[in-house]
Each structure stands twice: as structure tokens, then as C-alpha cells.
Chain A
């Protein structure tokens, strides 16, 4: 039996190195011609107490990207979603986003970070100059404050100010029925304080005779709410506003229910209306006034029903984060279709700005990426009441968008954002 001599000679080595060098230079064009994937980076929270945020956001984004890939992709190119855990830490979010761009070679970013992290991602995207859509953060300043405006960065999530206007208007209806003395119990960090301040501002606009008689501010991930509950019992308000969310909201409701807190006054909980929260609370009290977040009956359309069923096939319950990431991915796909797969940030931004897309979450079956501040409008906003059993939310009262837009413009003037 004969053996070929496989020793690597210097000549062979030089030839191989030359070939590799040529390939690396020629690669982008070859890969493009062969339909290389378009990589979309997604920094999000996949660990800790709010891991559900990243898990459901991933499901939402994958729904639309898988559908596009199944149809053959964009101009023959498949889209690959590269998802990374940021642990909810802003500095980690900044680092991971840079890695997604530099190491994983993502050409655009679909940010699925909570508020703190999204500002970190925002600065990285401003620095690197790549196209980005924030899909989760509700902090109004992210897109409303001109200091943060970057023409290639968008937001596909709901905005705190929209919910504040809807909440203020809804709560003013309660005020007309005698709920005049209000207290707040919101998380002790920027999101909680800003959102609560916005709610107070608009409740005072719509019902100037209300009074805020007390406030209590639980910390993030606080295990025991006894102190806050006792405080609320002492204040004895007629109405309570809370923007606690996720696991914190569930823990607060479970503990406060033991004291019969919700039998003593009306409660407005903007973040109650998400299926995992509604189903996680052990004895969900009836009659809690809640924002819609995501609900299968809001809007009450067949498209939303189909979307809800499709989402649940993943084994996860649909959330507000799920539809927001879905919407973000939808805008990404539509922009890529318009540019025929070109990921140039200015071309993508031009294709996104002012675009209206068909959406199961839109009030009229569409949502729009508003020009001017690159933020989403037209999605379902409003309040309803909880039920102890399925469907958990009833008597939904949508807030008309013309009312929201009018008050938002006045708010921007007051904040000197215009």
C-alpha cells in the first residue's frame, strides 16, 4: 500500500495562504451573491427575575422573521436573529451590543432591552451609526427628547406618555364618581417616578379637583411589601395608582390581597393587563383598572386572535414585550424589503420613517412609525377592568388617538421638546 506524502511544503503553504487571503477579500461579494444571511442582533434580558421579557420578546421577533425566511427571505437572503443576554445591566447591554456588531457581524440591531439598557444601546448605536429599532423601552424621553434624537434609530414599543394620557383620562372618570383622594405605589427608579409623574400630571389636567395624599416607593425586586401596604392602609386613599410591573406587581398584589387592600379603594394598575401577570396572581381581585398591555381581545379582531394563537404555540403566554418585538421585527423586514436587502442605515431609515404597516395590534389594523420623532403610534391604548377568571380583562375603553396626540403635543411643549 502506498502513502502519499502530505507534508506541507513552504510552497504549498504560501499558495494556501494566498488563496485564503484572496477569499477573505472576495468573501463579501461572493457571500452576497450566494445569498448570505442578514444578521440582526437582539440584546435582551434572558436571565434573572425579568427573564420573561427577553423570552417573550424573542418569540415575538422570531414569529415574523421565521415567516419571512420560510417565504424565501429578502431577495434570496435569509435573516438570522442573533439573541444575547444582557442581564438587564446597562453597561453589559452596551458591551453586548458592540459584540453583536463587531464579533457576530450583525448589520442592524433590534433592541429588546428595558429602559435603562435601551439608553445604553442607544448610545452605542449613535456611535456605531448602524440602523436600530428599540422595541421594549417605554421611557418617553428615549424618542421624545430631541437630545436623544438620531435619525436612524426608531421605537416600535408603546410610549409611557401615551399610557399616561390614557390613564389620566380614564382615572378622571373615576374622579367624577367620587374618587378624589389618590395615593401612588410605584417602583423607586426612573421608570416608576417618571411614569407616575406623567399620570399625576394628566389626571390633574382631566380632573383638577383630585388630591394626591400619599406615596410609597418600593425598590426593584423588593421581597416584602408590608411597609408599603401598611403605609397605604394608614393613608386610606380613595384611589391608588401603581406602575409596578412583572414579578414585582405579582408579589405586591399577592401580599396586599392578604390585607384586603383592594377592597378598600379603587386601583389603577397600568401594567396589570399582561397574560403572564394576570395568570400568575394567585387570587386576582376583580375590578382592578388596568392598562391593556397585550390582550387577545384588544383590539377585538380576528387578526389579533390569530396572532394570539400563533404566539401561544411557542409555549409562552403573549406579553406586551412580545407584540412590541414582533412589531419591531416587522418594521425591520419591511424596511429590508424596500431596500432589497441593503442594510445601509440611511436607506433603511428612509424606508422606515413614516411607514404604515398592517398590524394585528393597531386600532384600525395598522400602526405607523411617526415621522419627526421616529416613534410608534396607532396601537391599541386604553383601560379595562380585571375579572378573576378568563379572559381576565373586560369593559375595555379605548382612548382615541386624536386625544392622545393633542395632549402629547401640549406635553412636549411644556417639556420644551418641540
Chain B
């Protein structure tokens, strides 16, 4: 039997992961669990797509929430458009998702073409400027977006392929599918040769350019992919809330995604997801005692930055790795000692002979 390629292996893991999410919903059919996980799918995709920029390409974007919100808005606006649902029928939702994905990709491409010419703090500020521009557009185009009250009036979600998104289980399963597809897309990108080029750009852009790589183009493509995948997170949240709000595009949402990455770990693929989970746990546990959730988040971030000096998952991975190395070391030492004893015994025997 031929061994699986990396791509096949990742696809298989994604499929098993998707089945595990479905099984979780079947074994614990609690609405709370399904709703919590659905919200996590959305914030998880936002953080993981941003990680493609921050962790793999070395680009810190402060405006990433704009693409997340754009996905939700385009999805909702297409479905609310006069005559669209009647014309597209059962294909309305898949077509709206494709439209959200493509339109956000185009938006990210245009912004990327402008921002990728700059680096470090200038890049970060320009992405923030585009994000503010996008929020102003949402708030200004009241007739289309509902202004700061959001895209209200409910988003129609007709049944397609037997999936009724107004039903909790169907909604959960479909959002799990979108989430898995988004994570798989990021995984395939990071494991491809393009993904390794991204790491090279992150580590030393000038040296990568000397090798003949068009680093500007690489950054633009990375920016576009990250924006497109973030839009799926927005689609999930729009499906979940049956609306879209300008707060989704706010700089604080982008900042929260960066916090998630820092909290979970910058150096591991699933770090941002762990961060999203931790952030949600901190929020919910704090709310049991006080409304000062931001204070609790700040304290945890300080702990992670000053004490752990890396994200939770990075810390855990390093811990396991160190223990393994220590165990290997001790095993090697023991072997060495035993070999030494054997040599001594043999030498003694030789001397006696």
C-alpha cells in the first residue's frame, strides 16, 4: 500500500475532525454546547486566518476583522436582496456563501495590493486605516447595511440539500463543515511550498527576494487567502445570529483576534484555536462573578506574556518536547553508563587473564 501524501493525510485528519465535531453534537445534544461551538467556529476562523499573516508571513494586520465582517455582510445582503431567494431557490445559501467568499477575496486583494508595499508598523497602520474606512462605509450606507443598527430584518436561509439552517442541529453541522473547510484550507497553504515561502518571507524578506522570489506577490496572495478564509467566519456568525453588525468589523475585534493568537501560541498551527477557546472560557467564567471581563483577559495576557513568555499551546508543546528530550538524555546516559561498566568488566577480565 502506498503511503499517504501530506495533502491526503491532512484531508483525512480534517475529515476525522469534522466527524468528531458531529459526534460531539450527537453525544451531547445540548443547545448550549452547539451554540457555544458555533460561535467558537467563527472566532476560531478569524484568529486562524489572521495567524496565516501574523505567524506565517510576519505581517501584523490590525484590520483583519474587516474581512470577517465583510463575509457576514455580503452573505446577508445577497440573501436579503429583492428576488434573489426566489430566483436562486434552494441554491440561495451556497451561492451567497460563494459570493461572500469571492467578494471578500476581491476586497482583500485590493487592500493587499496597496498594503503589501509597506512593512511592519506602516503595514499595520494602513490595514487599520482600511478597516476604519470599511466601518465608515457600513455605517454610512444605511440603506443597504442598516447603518450602526446592523443588517436587521432577518437573513432568509432557505433549505438546501435537506439542510435547514434555522434548525439547531443542521446549523451546527453546517457551520462545523465550513469551519473544518476553512481550517483545512489554511493547513494546506501552510504545508505547501508556498507556505514555506511565506516562512522565508517572515524570517528574512530581503534574502528571500535575493533568491528570486517576488515577495510582494507572495504577501498579496497570503493577504487575500487570509481575508477570504476570515469571511467564512463572518458567514458562520451571520448564519448563527441571522444578522450582521458593524461591531464585527471594529478594531477591537481585530485586537481580540491578535490576543487569541498570543494567548494560544504563535508557533503552533492550532495555537490561535486554543487561544479562541481560552478567551471564551475566561469570558464566561469571569461573567459568573463580575462584569469586568476585559480586566480578567488583561491579567491572563500579562501572565502569558510575562511568565510563560509564549502562548499556552506553545508552552505545552515545549514542555512535552523538553520532557521527552530529558527522558532521551537520561536514557542515553544510562546506556552510556552501562556500556562503560561493560567495558570496565571486560578490561578487568582481560587484565585477570
B329 on the A face (CB < 8 A) = no
User: Among A85, A116, A127, which residue has its beta carbon within 8 angstroms of that of B245?
Assistant: A116
B133 on the A face (CB < 8 A) = no
Known: A85-B291, A103-B32. A94 touches B148 (CB 8 A): no
User: Among B32, B39, B152, B287, which residue has its beta carbon within 8 angstroms of that of A123?
Assistant: B152
A124 on the B face (CB < 8 A) = yes
Interface of B is mostly: helix
Give the docked Cα–Cα distance between A62 and B153 (Å): 31
Q: Which residues of A contact B237 (CB under 8 A)?
A: 91
Can you name the residue of chain B whose Cβ is closest to the Cβ of A51? B291
Can you name the residue of chain B whose Cβ is closest to the Cβ of A94? B241
User: Among A46, A91, A115, which residue has its beta carbon within 8 angstroms of that of B247?
Assistant: A91
| A91 with B248: CB separation less than 8 A | yes
| A126 with B291: CB separation less than 8 A | no
B: number of interface residues (CB 8 Å): 27
Q: Which residues of A contact B149 (CB under 8 A)?
A: 90, 115-116, 119, 139, 190
Q: List which A77-94 residues lie within 8 A (CB) of chain B.
A: 84-85, 87, 89-91, 94
Give the docked Cα–Cα distance between A119 and B152 (Å): 6
The 9 closest A-B pairs by CB, nearest first: A102-B31, A47-B291, A103-B32, A147-B153, A102-B32, A90-B245, A119-B152, A94-B241, A123-B242
Give the docked Cα–Cα distance between A116 and B147 (Å): 10
A: number of interface residues (CB 8 Å): 32
| B243 with A148: CB separation less than 8 A | no
Q: Which residues of A contact B255 (CB under 8 A)?
A: none
Q: Which residues of B contact A46 (CB under 8 A)?
A: 291
Q: List which A123-150 residues lie within 8 A (CB) of chain B.
A: 123-124, 126-127, 139, 141, 145, 147-148
Q: List which B120-158 residues lie within 8 A (CB) of chain A.
A: 139, 142, 146-150, 152-154
Q: List which A81-119 residues lie within 8 A (CB) of chain B.
A: 84-85, 87, 89-91, 94-95, 98-99, 101-103, 115-116, 119
Q: How far is the CB of A167 from the nearest CB of chain B, in Å? A: 21
Interface of A is mostly: helix
Q: Which residues of B contact A98 (CB under 8 A)?
A: 31, 35
Q: How far is the CB of B137 from the nearest CB of chain A, in Å? A: 15
Give the docked Cα–Cα distance between A90 and B247 (Å): 8
Best-surrounded residue of B149, B166, B248 (most CB of chain A within 10 A): B149
Q: Which residues of B contact A101 (CB under 8 A)?
A: 31
A120 on the B face (CB < 8 A) = yes
Residue-wise interface mask of B (235-259) relative to A, using a CB-CB cutoff of 8 A (1 in contact, 0 not): 0010011110101100000000000
Q: How far is the CB of B250 from the nearest CB of chain A, in Å? A: 9
Q: List A residues at the B interface (Cβ < 8 Å).
A: 46-47, 84-85, 87, 89-91, 94-95, 98-99, 101-103, 115-116, 119-120, 122-124, 126-127, 139, 141, 145, 147-148, 189-190, 193
Q: Which residues of B contact A190 (CB under 8 A)?
A: 142, 146-149
Give the docked Cα–Cα distance between A147 and B248 (Å): 23
Q: How far is the CB of A61 from the nearest CB of chain B, in Å? A: 18
| A123 with B291: CB separation less than 8 A | no
B345 on the A face (CB < 8 A) = no
Q: How far is the CB of B141 from the nearest CB of chain A, in Å? A: 12
Give the docked Cα–Cα distance between A125 and B154 (Å): 11
Q: How far is the CB of A157 from the nearest CB of chain B, in Å? A: 16
Q: How far is the CB of A90 from the nearest CB of chain B, in Å? A: 4
